[in-house]
Chain A
Amino acid sequence: MLLSCKEAAQLISQSMDHPLPTRWRVALKFHLFICRFCTRYQRQLLFMREVLRRRAREIDDEESLASTSLSAETRQRLKEALRRRK
């Protein structure tokens, strides 16, 4: 069965969430074999997943995250909230 790119893109997304039924998997494989744009599409979606998961793991010691921190004000507010409840 021949897929359009639009159909292939749907299957690519679905295949990232659960295994595709055999006939769809075969159809997608064939489409990817002949279509470099959908191949790129798939590779880029997988790349997005990969960097996000890695980012989530590294959230602690990332240099670039150093600028993402609580303001002095918020810090103070949190401490006061804790003190009041103690």
Chain B
Amino acid sequence: MMTDWRDRDIRLDVEMTDSSPASDPETWVDQHGDYLYRYALFRIRDPHLAEDLVQETLLAALEARNTFAGHSSERTWLVGILKHKIIDYLRQRHREPSFDTSDSADTSTEEFFTRMGMWKVKPDEWRFDPEAALNRKEFWDVFARCLSQLPARQADAFVLREIEGWDNKEISKVLNVSATNLWVMLHRARMRLRRCLEIHWFGGKTKEN
């Protein structure tokens, strides 16, 4: 089930309770550190940044330890804090508005189409069992590499839309782009990612046909 990042009450400001204090903070590192790290890395893609976000999360949790009300598991509580850290980070990263107007709807994917609007390289039948890809580390390595080749805003838009399932309005706000800009970015990100996966994983044709 998708969990919603934004509205979830992470209970930082719940009344103090000593009936169910969180466990010794140092044990968080061994118990939840890897999970938090993977969670952040999957969304942010930069290992150092992911580590920093984990550290910030743990320190914020330490500050707020007495407010952990035990309504949720310790991990859910920590992930809730991490989500907020990630959104704060994205806001910060995209604080400068995008002045890139080169990506109009029409020109954004022109490298993929002829002047007549036909596919330059027709989408190939994906030969590998797509389901099997899911469980292969190599597939996710390829995916991460493809994603990292996109401009940061485009990649972040794609992650928020496709992984987190946010609606476009919310994404526009966090990434500081107009609605039109956003759909062009998403269109382009999907087009490029699909093509990148086709070339590097599904063994698609690399030549124009």
A39 shortest CB reach to chain B, Å: 9
A30 at the interface (CB under 8 A from B): no
B194 at the interface (CB under 8 A from A): yes
**Residue on A nearest B125 in the bound complex, by CB:** A40
Residues B140 and A55 in contact, CB atoms below 8 Å apart:
yes
B100 at the interface (CB under 8 A from A): no
List A residues at the B interface (Cβ < 8 Å). Answer: 4-7, 9-10, 13-14, 16-18, 37-38, 40-41, 44-45, 47-49, 51-57, 59-60, 62-65, 67-70, 74-75, 77-79, 81-83, 85-86
Residues B39 and A59 in contact, CB atoms below 8 Å apart:
yes
Residues B163 and A47 in contact, CB atoms below 8 Å apart:
no
Contact of B59 among A16, A40, A44, A82 (CB under 8 A): A82
B29 at the interface (CB under 8 A from A): yes
Give the segment of B8-16, B87-95, B184-192 that binds chain A: B184-192
Excluding A37-B123, A49-B162, 20 further A-B contacts by CB distance (< 8 Å) are A4-B116, A4-B118, A9-B109, A14-B187, A17-B186, A41-B123, A44-B126, A47-B126, A47-B130, A51-B130, A55-B140, A57-B2, A59-B42, A70-B37, A70-B54, A75-B33, A81-B59, A82-B25, A82-B62, A83-B26
Residues B122 and A69 in contact, CB atoms below 8 Å apart:
no
Residues B34 and A69 in contact, CB atoms below 8 Å apart:
yes
Residues B42 and A55 in contact, CB atoms below 8 Å apart:
yes
> Which residues of B162-192 have CB atoms within 8 Å of chain A's CB atoms?
162-165, 167-168, 183, 186-187, 190-191
Given contacts A57-B1, A70-B54, A83-B26, A48 and B193 within 8 Å (CB-CB) = yes
B136 at the interface (CB under 8 A from A): yes
**Residue on B nearest A8 in the bound complex, by CB:** B117
9 contacts between A and B (CB under 8 A): A4-B118, A9-B187, A44-B126, A64-B137, A67-B137, A70-B51, A81-B59, A83-B26, A86-B25
Please, how many angstroms separate the alpha-carbon atoms of A82 and B118 in the complex?
Answer: 58
**Residue on A nearest B141 in the bound complex, by CB:** A64
Residues A78 and B163 in contact, CB atoms below 8 Å apart:
no
Residues A64 and B41 in contact, CB atoms below 8 Å apart:
no
Please, how many angstroms separate the alpha-carbon atoms of A81 and B134 in the complex?
Answer: 36
**Residue on A nearest B191 in the bound complex, by CB:** A9
